């Protein structure tokens, strides 16, 4: 099969767009011209064949992760497993829950091996791996749905923060969710960890047994879904303000546990326009501020 | 078209071979990438960015997979494929945030299509409802689920007009008002039926491309003209077959014997007396209250618009046809000895004329134009110098489309456009909880013009050598150059 990834620049000529099968990456590197070029070349090189590599172990990746041992071979696959392993003892989770973040991390890693960059990010459909040299920062925009004109909140991720991964999960995404969150955005040390944790927290934003929530076995929607016959959320009807609070609190309780365990650095949970922030006092979701309307979005990213 | 390696299982699932994930895809569903779908057992590539689940479920148009040759992995494969913005930006399920820039060669001109999805909080729909029936007074509030979402605006020939949405209802009122407005706009834009109630008026179910349902009754036809116009059109055909014709109309009711058209044919007076206010001979305003009965009035008995016949002029045996402007209602009368009209079986040639009126009425439809303004940030995604994009649109160098459909760009400042929602693929509109609508918008221009805009020429892909020729080819369905026509 002559399948080649799609590699090109976006309209701004600055950001690289990489797409292969279900993987879709937006990449940006800042630094010297030569370094940026080298980084993009490294990204494109590493990206080519990456999907095939993952698919080679797809069967195992779709099985519940074994909390005690990592039997996967590929670097990305192993990283996926490592990211979900802390959750595997307590609930059903497969390495697929961290695939987007793990891929983003891998591409960013390849870029940094080949170049000296001031800042860089690899955005894999909202799961983002960050690089920040000393003194640099990123402004991360939280959108209810990703769009430049609709940013709700912005967060500043500083080089001094431990955060190098941002991920969002929720029922509107391409992956299925067991919960009802519109979006849960997580800050963590790595993109794969953020990805896995966002999945777990989004699943916890839920109102079990609520009649207005329509659920359906995952395999009825996607026969080979790693979630098998588990019920995934298809639609959420009217919820009272109280119910919205309850569902968010259930997710926030989960997020606080992960925060205490050092698995995440912060989380923003959103449901029906309401938002709950869980973060260590020291971080306070740094720079959480009013909408960024009208400002240059140069360093803003969609989450 | 199936490829060799694509296998179909017993229960119609398809194994997609487009990438090594090799998804099993159920009929009507999409693979993990959202780019390939199972459409009745065939693997189809969805028009590159359309979100397919909705497309399939709404019977949208799908592009056959691999119509010719092997797919080379590029988004734009065939030059005839137009890349739409649907799903490029942000529609459900939150697809990739970034707009794409794609170049493809169309008719020998290197085209650049910048596809994006705009979020429009300044947006709404204009609804044209082809009906004579009275829907409500001008400026009356239009409601959905009890919430104000717009108003009745000035009517057009044969049609009632509604103006719905807009920033005031979307974000200026209560939270619920905004949400209901947003839902109604999105459903109307996606060609779904929406029930609207008009203060002091009717309840109407509006669905783009379908007849309106007014107070539970399907509208079939829009009128051929007002009552007076109908007299003018058909006077000759009635001449000699009937003594008097009244065309009942909420606006102008026409009377054959008094009308100029009747005079020219030497049709004698019949002694008829009309209620209402005489405008000019044979033309009457306000013969009855507006409503959903005959000819957009509220009457169900046409004789109620007549006074007693003038005994000095009328004679027993006078024949009279009464008909509504759409021909949907018609009755035939003869005056008895007391000069009272008595309903009789309608002669065949008059039935024929009623059918002719019906035939000349166009099917009544609801049509919905989405109207929105493309604001600053959206333009910034296309070029570093947004106002140049605006100017370029004004100069007709840049063609604006919405989901591939032609738009009309309103002259003046900004990029305010209108598009017929039935011309977009199904499910093209989305929303954000702001609340605001998400609509696709594409800007297509010559590469050379794109360069002049400040576009990044070396990064457009795949770039064939620029042909130094001629005009951007205008297709017949294209909008006129904005501002150049009255």
> At residue A85, does pLDDT exceed 50?
yes
pLDDT, greater one: A141 or B154: B154
> CB–CB of B29 and A55 under 8 A?
no
- Chain A residues in contact with B180 (beta carbon < 8 A): none
Number of H helices, E strands in chain A: 8, 14
The reported pLDDT for the residue numbered A33 is 92
Distance, in Å, from the CA atom of A224 to the CA atom of A203, rounded to the nearest integer, reads 20
- The Cα of B399 is separated from the nearest Cα of chain A by a number of Å equal to 17
Question: For position B47, what pLDDT does the model report?
Answer: 39
Q: Residue A266 in contact with residue A187, Cβ under 8 Å?
A: yes
Nearest to B75 among A4, A6, A273 (CB): A6
The whole-angstrom separation of Cα A175 and Cα A257 is 24
Question: For residue B198, what are its two tokens?
Answer: 């008009």
Closest CA to A3 of B71, B481, B23: B71
What is residue B450's predicted lDDT score, i.e. its pLDDT? 66
Record: contact A149-B381, CB cut-off 8 A: no
Res B446: pLDDT: 67
Q: Assign A209 a pLDDT band (cuts: 50, 70, 90).
A: very high
CA distance B450 to chain A (A): 11
In this complex, is the C-beta atom of B117 within 8 Å of any C-beta atom belonging to chain A?
yes
pLDDT, residue A261, reads 92
Looking at the complex, does the CB of residue B31 fall below 8 Å from at least one CB of chain A? Answer: yes
Average pLDDT, chain A: 83
d(CA A67, CA A64): 9
* Least reliable range by pLDDT among A47-51, A280-284, B84-88: B84-88
Q: What angle do CA B279, B220, B329 make, to 5 degrees?
A: 50
Is residue A200 scored above 50 in pLDDT?
A: yes
Instruction: Summarize the confidence of residues A70-97 as an average pLDDT.
Output: 95
Instruction: Give chain B positions within 8 Å (CB) of A233.
Output: none
**From the list A11, A144, A173, which residue is nearest B381 (CB)?**
A11
pLDDT at position B304: 92
pLDDT of residue B442: 74
Between chains, do A182 and B433 touch, taking CB under 8 Å as contact? yes
- Give SS3 for A19: strand
pLDDT tens for each residue of A55-71 = 999 999 999 999 999 99
Token representation of residue A149: 């004109």
8 Å CB contact of A147 and B455: no
> What pLDDT is attached to residue B222?
78
CA distance B101 to B112: 7
3-state secondary structure of A191: helix
Taking a C-beta distance cutoff of 8 angstroms, is the pair B208, B367 a contact? yes
A209 SS3 class:
coil
Strand arrangement, sheet containing B24-25: B7-8, B14-15, B24-25
Q: What share of chain A is helix, strand, coil (3-state, %, to 5)?
A: 35, 30, 40
Q: H or E element: which one contains A113?
A: helix A99-114
- CB contact at 8 A, B322 and B289: no
| Higher pLDDT, residue B437 or A49 | A49
Q: Tell me the two tokens of residue B416.
A: 């305010």
Lowest mean pLDDT among A196-200, A238-242, B149-153, B192-196: A238-242
Q: Do B93 and A182 touch (CB under 8 A)?
A: no
Stated length of chain A:
303
Sign of the four-CA dihedral B44, A55, A102, A120: negative
A148: pLDDT strictly greater than 60: no
Give CA angle at B163 (B157, B168), nearest 5°: 160
- 3-state SS class at A111: helix
Q: Report the alpha-carbon distance of residue B285 to residue B228 in Å, rounded.
A: 10
CATH code 3.10.520.10 for A6-302: yes
Judged by CB atoms closer than 8 Å, whether chains meet at A12 and B384 is answered as yes
Does the pLDDT at position A263 exceed 50?
yes
- What ipTM goes with this model? 0.78
Structure token digits, residue A45: 């090189």
> Above 50 in pLDDT, residue A42?
yes
Predicted confidence at residue A275, as pLDDT, reads: 80
φ, ψ for residue B277, nearest 5 deg: -105, 120
CA dihedral B23, B26, B28, B29 (to 10 degrees): -40
Share of chain B above pLDDT 70, in %: 68
Does pLDDT of A134 surpass 60?
A: yes
- In B199-282, DSSP assigns E strands to 203-206, 213-214, 217-218, 244-248, 252-255, 277-280
**Domains of chain B: which residue ranges?**
1-79, 82-122+375-465, 123-218, 227-360
Listed by number, the residues of chain A in 253-272 with a beta carbon closer than 8 Å to a beta carbon of chain B are 272
Question: From the CA of B12, how many Å to the nearest CA of chain A?
Answer: 11
pLDDT along chain B (486 residues), means of 10: 48 78 84 77 58 32 34 31 37 26 36 52 90 88 96 91 93 88 93 95 94 89 82 91 93 92 92 91 88 85 94 94 92 95 95 90 90 68 65 69 83 85 80 75 69 56 30 30 31
Check residue B302 and report its DSSP letter. Answer: G
């Amino acid at each position: 099969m002559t399948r080649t990834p799609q590699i090109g620049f976006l309209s701004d000529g600055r950001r690289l767009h990489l797409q292969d099968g279900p993987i879709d990456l937006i990449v940006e590197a800042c630094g010297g011209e030569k370094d940026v070029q080298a980084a993009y070349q490294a990204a494109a090189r590493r990206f080519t064949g990456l999907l095939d590599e993952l698919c080679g172990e797809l069967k195992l990746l779709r099985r519940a992760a074994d909390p005690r041992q990592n039997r996967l071979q590929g670097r990305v696959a192993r990283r996926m497993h490592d990211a979900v392993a802390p959750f595997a003892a307590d609930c059903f989770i497969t390495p697929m829950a961290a695939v987007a973040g793990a891929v983003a991390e891998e591409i960013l890693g390849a870029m940094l091996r080949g170049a000296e960059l001031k800042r860089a990010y690899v955005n894999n459909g909202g799961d983002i791996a960050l690089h920040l040299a000393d003194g640099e920062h990123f402004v991360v925009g939280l959108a209810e749905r990703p769009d430049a004109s609709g940013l709700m909140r912005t967060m500043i991720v500083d080089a001094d923060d431990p955060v190098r991964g941002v991920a969002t999960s929720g029922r509107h995404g391409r992956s299925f969710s067991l919960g009802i969150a519109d979006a849960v955005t997580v800050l963590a040390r790595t993109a794969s960890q953020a990805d896995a944790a966002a999945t777990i927290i989004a699943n916890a934003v839920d109102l079990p047994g609520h009649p207005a929530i329509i659920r359906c076995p995952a395999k009825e929607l996607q026969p080979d879904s790693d979630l098998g016959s588990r019920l995934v959320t298809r639609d959420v009807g009217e919820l009272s303000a109280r119910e919205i609070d309850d569902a968010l609190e259930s997710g926030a309780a989960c997020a606080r546990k992960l925060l205490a365990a050092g698995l995440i650095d912060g989380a923003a949970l959103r449901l029906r326009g309401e938002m709950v922030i869980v973060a260590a006092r020291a971080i306070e979701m740094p720079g959480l501020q009013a909408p960024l309307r009208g400002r240059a979005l140069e360093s803003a990213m969609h989450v | 078209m199936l490829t060799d390696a694509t296998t179909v299982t017993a229960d119609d699932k398809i194994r997609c071979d487009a990438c090594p994930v090799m998804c099993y895809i159920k009929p009507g569903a999409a693979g993990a990438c959202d780019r390939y779908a199972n459409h009745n057992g065939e693997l189809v590539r969805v028009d590159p960015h359309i979100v397919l689940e909705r497309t399939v479920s709404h019977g949208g148009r799908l592009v056959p997979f691999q119509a010719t040759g092997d797919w080379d992995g590029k988004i734009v494969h065939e030059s005839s494929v137009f890349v739409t913005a649907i799903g490029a930006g942000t529609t459900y399920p939150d697809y990739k945030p970034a707009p794409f820039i794609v170049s493809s060669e169309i008719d020998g001109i290197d085209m650049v299509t910048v596809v994006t999805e705009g979020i429009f909080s300044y947006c709404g729909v204009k609804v044209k409802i082809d009906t004579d029936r009275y829907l409500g007074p001008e400026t009356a509030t239009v409601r959905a689920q009890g919430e104000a979402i717009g108003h009745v605006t000035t009517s057009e020939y044969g049609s009632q007009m509604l103006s719905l949405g807009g920033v005031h209802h979307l974000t200026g009122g209560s939270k619920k008002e905004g949400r209901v407005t947003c839902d109604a706009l999105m459903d109307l834009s996606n060609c779904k039926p929406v029930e609207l109630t008009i203060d002091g008026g009717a309840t109407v179910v509006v669905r783009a491309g379908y007849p309106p349902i007014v107070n539970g009754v399907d509208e079939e036809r829009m009128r051929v003209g007002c009552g007076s116009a109908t007299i003018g059109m058909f006077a000759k055909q009635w001449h000699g077959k009937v003594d008097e014709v009244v065309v009942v109309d909420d606006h102008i009711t026409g009377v054959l014997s008094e009308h100029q058209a009747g005079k020219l044919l030497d049709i004698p007076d019949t002694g008829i007396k009309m209620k209402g206010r005489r405008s000019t001979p044979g033309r009457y305003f306000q013969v009855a209250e507006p409503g959903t009965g005959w000819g957009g009035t509220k009457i169900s008995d046409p004789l109620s618009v007549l006074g007693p016949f003038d005994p000095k002029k009328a004679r027993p045996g006078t024949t009279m046809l009464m008909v509504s402007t759409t021909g949907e209602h018609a009755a035939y009368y003869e005056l008895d000895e007391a000069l009272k009209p008595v309903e009789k079986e309608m002669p065949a040639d008059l039935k024929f004329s009623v059918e002719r009126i019906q035939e000349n009425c166009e099917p009544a439809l609801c049509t919905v134009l989405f109207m929105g303004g493309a604001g600053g940030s959206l333009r910034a995604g296309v070029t570093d110098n947004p106002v140049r994009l605006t100017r370029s649109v004004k100069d007709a160098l840049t063609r604006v489309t919405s989901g591939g459909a032609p738009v009309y760009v309103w002259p003046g400042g900004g990029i305010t456009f209108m598009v017929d929602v039935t011309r977009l693929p199904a499910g093209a509109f989305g929303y954000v909880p702001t609340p605001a609508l998400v609509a696709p918008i594409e800007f297509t221009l010559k590469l050379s013009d794109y360069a002049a805009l400040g576009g990044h020429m070396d990064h457009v892909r795949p770039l064939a050598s620029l042909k130094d020729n001629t005009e951007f080819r205008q297709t017949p369905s294209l909008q006129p150059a904005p501002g150049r026509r009255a």
